[in-house]
Amino acid sequence: MTSDGAPGAGCRRVSDDGVSFRDLNANGVLDPYEDPRLPIEERVEDLLARMTLEEKAAQLFHQGLGVPDDGTVSDEPDGFTQVSTLGLVGLGLTHFNIYWAPGPEVLAQWHNRVQEAAERTRLGIPVTISSDPRHGLGDNPATSMAGSGFSQWPDPIGLAATRDEGLVREFADIARREYLAVGIRLALHPTADLATEPRWCRASGTFGEDAEVAARLVVAYLRGMQGETLGAQSVACMTKHFPGAGPQLDGEDAHFPYGREQVYPGGAFDYHLIPFEAALEAGTAQVMPYYGMPVGTEHEEVGFGFNRGVVTGLLRERYGFDGVVCSDWGLLNDTLLAGALWPARAWGAEHLSREERAAKVLDAGVDQFGGESCPEVVVELVRSGRIDEGRVDASVRRLLRDKFRLGLFDDPYVDPDRAAEVVGARAHVERGHAAQTRSIVLLGNARGLLPLRGAPCVYLRGLDVAEIPAGTVVERPEDADVALVRIQAPFDPRDGNFLEALFHAGRLEFAAPEIAWLLELMEQVPTVVDIRLDRAAVIPEIAAAAAALLADFGATDAALLDVAFGRAAPEGKLPFELPSSIESVEAQLPDLPYDSRDPLFPFGHGLSYSDAPIASPPPR
């Protein structure tokens, strides 16, 4: 195809007998690895035998990229990763994780241009494009991306609040169709971690703290994305972060040195394996270990990507997994982000050289290095005799097998016009909106204020709307019958490197000055409070004073208003408990689920509108 998606020189085409071939093939001879009539294993072995050591080493790197707004592909470094797409393709890299991206039509055009560049290389190995989640409302380039035209759904923790496997599978199927339309063939999700430590900043990407609930929803997710088997209409899934990234010491995250330790004081290491066992049984194509290093277990105290006992001992041998294992991003090299140095996440292996780290990762049983590109390191390890080339072949074999199973060698291109129709299609947006309303949890409604009835005068804060479904928006609380307020769960802003500032970590309670205005408002007028829970929060004073209390896990103002005015009913149940005090958080064990003392709202709490009498609009 040309850069506009039309057929052109150098593309894969299909002959009258259904055989896929490249029109640049010498003398029109079809190489076995390009023949779809042959078994995949034969095609893999044929291609592997043709590859140089340098070409093999390049497969072992999965670099991140920014996609330009105009969809061009050039030799110029991009503005985020400071790497050149064409330069990486020229090095033989064929796995790219995209960060920011333009709208669907331009993204599809960019994808086709990258595939054209790959096809012009010696072996024409097609590119696999991967992505972190793009359908939620959270926006953190280290974990998820919002926007770019994709339909909007609750974050995974909100899907968990519905407890609905059918809804999760429907979401994953719609996400699959939208990904396919723009050329994304590998999902760097689902996240099978358990949010057992309430302070951990990545709870929003999980399915909560209950292992059985998470296991059921992870399987539904995989079925919607991959199907029953991996094929040309699948998006492969990289389930993460084995063996479970939830029990972080003091809730800090292993992206950063102060959060490198994972601890199991409750002896619940195996509890965190339950969702991964379900994912492996369901056939997840790939697995990602986390950055964290286990402390006080039988395993070596090094990050899981370096940990042979975990990757080979548990994942490969105990569970028999022979799919791709890709490390989390940046285990080998320090990174310069926005002028600040972000050290390699080589926890427990900081003292090793880059070459020694790479060797330890490969020795652990990992196939691919995420987020960086230094294939020359692998080449040197083989030529020096430190790593056997057969070890490299084993990983390349797994990586190529997924490309063949996904049909990339037969037709890697997409239709940009169709991408514009499929991504963010009206039906997808409507289903996402409905899922947002269903995921909202009614925490408290003792006065029966919700749903709002009649035509009240409403004071809004934290909502960006000019109209409401019924009644009138007023500018002053004193003119209102009811106030409707949206707030974000509390956290400690971090002012470290670029990414550190994006994670909501630290304290779970509001400082008194932060909510003085809210407490004053609730005394002045009956107030409905909605709190966005990207992780747990300690909010006893708000719960006591609010006329009604809602929690959302990624919902638009429109979705909240539909619930508040009764056009949709809140169905959600808390996917994690809300503790009653910070002291109870500090006393609970980070590896055990729902174990804080006297929680304000327990795991699974969630009311319906039928649980309280309907109140008339309060008098003005």
| Per-residue confidence (pLDDT) for residue 128, from 0 to 100 | 98
Residue 16 has pLDDT above 70, yes or no: no
| Secondary structure element (H or E) that encloses residue 531, with its range | strand 527-532
Span 346-365, mean pLDDT? Answer: 98
| pLDDT category of residue 143 using cuts at 50, 70 and 90 | low
- Work out whether the CA dihedral 462, 468, 469, 474 comes out positive or negative: positive
Look at residue 249 and give its three-state secondary structure. Answer: helix
pLDDT for residue 145: 61
C-alpha dihedral sign at 350, 351, 356, 360: negative
Q: What is the pLDDT of residue 80?
A: 66
pLDDT of residue 126: 98
Does residue 146 surpass a pLDDT of 70? no
Q: What is the mean pLDDT of residues 33-47?
A: 96
Give the pLDDT of residue 28.
Answer: 66
Q: Which pLDDT band holds residue 27 (cuts at 50, 70, 90)? A: low
Whether 137 shows a pLDDT value over 90: the answer reads no
- pLDDT score of 19: 39
Instruction: List pLDDT tens digits, range 434-465.
Output: 999 999 999 999 999 999 999 999 999 999 99
pLDDT of 432 higher than 90? yes
pLDDT of residue 342: 83
By DSSP bridging, strand 482-488 and strand 457-461 are: parallel
* 473-512 residue pLDDT tens: 999 999 999 999 999 999 998 876 677 878 899 999 999 9
For 350, counting Cβ atoms within 10 Å of its Cβ (0-12 exposed, 13-18 middle, 19+ buried), the class is middle
Q: What pLDDT is stored for residue 542 in this prediction?
A: 98
Q: What is the reported pLDDT for 20?
A: 41
Rounded to 5 degrees, φ, ψ at 240 are -140, 160
pLDDT digits (tens, 9 = 90+) for 259-274: 999 999 999 999 999 9
pLDDT at 499: 77
Q: What domains, with CATH codes, occur in the chain?
A: 63-148+184-198+220-422 (3.20.20.300), 440-611 (3.40.50.1700)
Structure tokens at 363: 């020795």
Mention every residue, 6+ apart, whose C-beta is less than 8 A from residue 39. none
Q: What is the pLDDT of residues 45-82, one digit of tens each?
A: 999 999 999 999 999 999 999 899 999 998 887 766 77
Kindly report, residue by residue over 300-313, the tens digit of the pLDDT.
999 999 999 999 99
Q: Is the pLDDT of residue 112 over 60?
A: yes
pTM: 0.93
> What are residue 548's DSSP bridge partners?
528
pLDDT of 10 higher than 70: no
**Is the predicted pLDDT of residue 612 greater than 60, yes or no?**
no
What average pLDDT does the chain have?
Answer: 92
Average pLDDT over residues 254-259: 94
Residue 141 has pLDDT above 90, yes or no: no
Average pLDDT over residues 89-96: 95
Which of these ranges, 11-15, 92-96, 524-528, has the smallest mean pLDDT? 11-15
Residues 6+ apart with CB under 8 A from 600: 538, 539, 540, 543, 578, 579, 580
Nearest Cα to 278, choosing from 220, 227, 226?
Answer: 220
The residue-averaged pLDDT of 537-549 equals 98
Residue 211 has pLDDT above 50, yes or no: yes
Q: What is the mean pLDDT of residues 514-538?
A: 97
**What are the structure tokens assigned to 593, written together?**
């689920």
pLDDT, residue 617, reads 43
3-state SS class at 59: helix
Cα dist from 135 to 98, 139, 172, 439, 499, whole Å: 14, 10, 10, 15, 20
Residue carrying structure tokens 């909501």: 504
Write phi, then psi, for 128 (nearest 5 degrees): -100, 120
Report the distance separating Cα 421 and Cα 239, nearest Å.
29
pLDDT attached to residue 474: 97
- What does DSSP say about strands 286-289 and 293-295: parallel, antiparallel, or unpaired? unpaired
Whether the pLDDT of residue 139 is over 70: the answer is no
Report whether pLDDT(2) > 60: no
Q: What does the pLDDT read at residue 294?
A: 98
User: Among 175-179, 326-330, 498-502, which stretch is predicted with the lowest mean pLDDT?
Assistant: 498-502
Active-site amino acid positions: 328
**Mean pLDDT within 224-248:** 97
Quick one: pLDDT at residue 335?
84
